[in-house]
Amino acid sequence: MKIFNIGICGGSASGKTTLAGYLAEALGKKNTNHFSLDNYYHDFVYLGLDPVKINYDHPDSIDFTSLAFDLNQLKAGNSVDIPVYDFNTHTRTAIRKNLSCKRYIIVEGLFLFNMPLLASLFDVKIYIDTPEEVRLARRIARDTKERNRSPQSVNDQFRQYVCPMHRKFVHPNRALADRIINGNKVFTGQIHEILKLIQWRSEI
């Protein structure tokens, strides 16, 4: 069985998780592994660093070596135990998520295509292009509900860290993508084009 890696990249709150969910549904969940680059944040508490001072929108916050290793293991048909990150405590939990070998692997994250360790690991690269003001509104809604943040703190972080890091590290992935998706439109109508691309690449 040929294992097929699909990368979904885009800015914070661009719709990566939503698109990945739709795509996993279309490909068949029993045939698909889906996880996020967010699983691979370093455990800064364990490293003795103050998590409040960490720029989580910079690539240095991610353990790319472990992600590349796990992707290569899955690509080779092996199962892996991936880390689970807790955003409330800024630590990796003691629980690890087991992924068995499946036909499709969907990985979503801010930086996927312009990182040397990952660049060659994806068979299809999708970039979600979503306006900044839409992403900010979504992030405020998400972080106040799921991460116990105040709207003002989310807005301040977005302006201070997210925006400049997006321009420097995330947006360049757009030029490396096989397909660019409009994150301000309903994804269901765009899934068919992605499925056609996956089918075409699978037959090469």
The pLDDT, as a whole number, for residue 163 is 96
List, for residues 86-143, the tens digit of each pLDDT value. Answer: 888 888 999 999 999 999 999 999 999 999 999 899 999 999 999 999 999 999 999 9
The pLDDT, as a whole number, for residue 186 is 87
Low-confidence ranges of the chain (pLDDT < 50): none
The pLDDT, as a whole number, for residue 204 is 58
Closest C-alpha among 169, 137, 143 to residue 61: 169
CA distance 38 to 185: 24
The pLDDT, as a whole number, for residue 78 is 95
Could you tell me the CATH number of the domain that includes residue 117? 3.40.50.300
Helices (H), the chain: 16-27, 64-75, 132-146, 151-157, 163-165, 188-203
The pLDDT, as a whole number, for residue 118 is 93
Which residue range is the domain that position 84 belongs to?
4-203
Q: Which residues pair with 7 in a beta bridge?
A: 107, 125
Q: How many domains does the chain have?
A: 1
